[in-house]
A and B are shown apart, each in its own frame.
Chain A
Amino acid sequence: MRNIWTIAKREYDHYFISPIAYVVAFTILLVLGIIFALVIWSYSGQTFFGGGAPDISPIVGSFAFLMVLSTPALTMRLLADENRMGTMELLLTAPVRESELVIGKWLGGMLFILTVIAITLVYPIILNNLVEPGIDQGTLLTSYLALILVAAAFLSVGVGVSALFSNQVAAFFVTMIALVTLYWLMGFPADYVQSGAEFFRHMNLQTHFYNLTSGQINLTDLVYFFSLIAIGLFTGSMAVETRRWR
Chain B
Amino acid sequence: MIRVEELTKDYGSRRALHGLTFEARQGEVVGFLGPNGAGKTTTMRILTSYMPPTSGEAIVAGYNVVSESLEVRKRVGYLPETVPLYTDMVVFDYLKFMADLRHLPNADERVGETLEMVGLLDRANGYIGALSKGMRQRIGLAQALLHRPEVLILDEPTIGLDPGQVVEIRHLIREIGKERTVLLSTHILSEAQQICDRVLIINKGRIVVEDTPENLQSRLVGAERVILRVGGDSDGLAPRIEKVKGVQQVKSNPDGSLEFQFLPAQDVRQQVAKTVIEAGYDLIEMRAVGLSLEEIFLELTKEEEPDKKKKARS
By a beta-carbon cutoff of 8 Å, the part of chain A in contact with chain B is 2-3, 6-7, 10, 13-14, 17, 85-97, 244-246
Contact = CB atoms under 8 A, between A and B. Distances in A.
B51 interface: yes
A2 B97 CA distance: 12
Given A10-B97, A87-B85, A94 B52 contact: no
Contacts of B100: 2, 6
Contacts of B86: 85, 87
Given A86-B84, A87-B84, A93 B78 contact: yes
B84 A93 contact: no
Contacts of B102: 94-95
B80 interface: yes
Given A95-B101, A96-B101, A244-B52, A90 B84 contact: yes
A90 B52 contact: no
A89 B74 CA distance: 15
B80 A89 contact: yes
Given A93-B50, A93-B73, A94-B102, A6 B80 contact: no
Interface in B52-80: 52, 70, 73-74, 76, 78, 80
B203 interface: no
Given A89-B80, A90-B98, A95 B52 contact: no
B51 A90 contact: no
26 contacts: A2-B100, A2-B103, A14-B88, A17-B88, A85-B84, A86-B80, A86-B82, A87-B84, A87-B86, A89-B80, A89-B84, A90-B78, A90-B84, A90-B143, A91-B101, A93-B73, A93-B76, A93-B80, A94-B98, A94-B101, A95-B73, A96-B73, A97-B70, A244-B52, A245-B51, A246-B51
A184 to B, nearest CB: 35
B70 A92 contact: no
Given A93-B48, A244-B51, A6 B97 contact: yes
B49 interface: yes
Interface centre among A13, A86, A95 (most CB of B within 10 A): A95
Interface string B84-122: 111010000100011011110000000000000000000
Contacts of A2: 100, 103
**8 residue pairs, one from A and one from B, having the closest CB atoms:** A86-B84, A6-B100, A87-B84, A95-B73, A93-B48, A95-B74, A94-B101, A244-B51
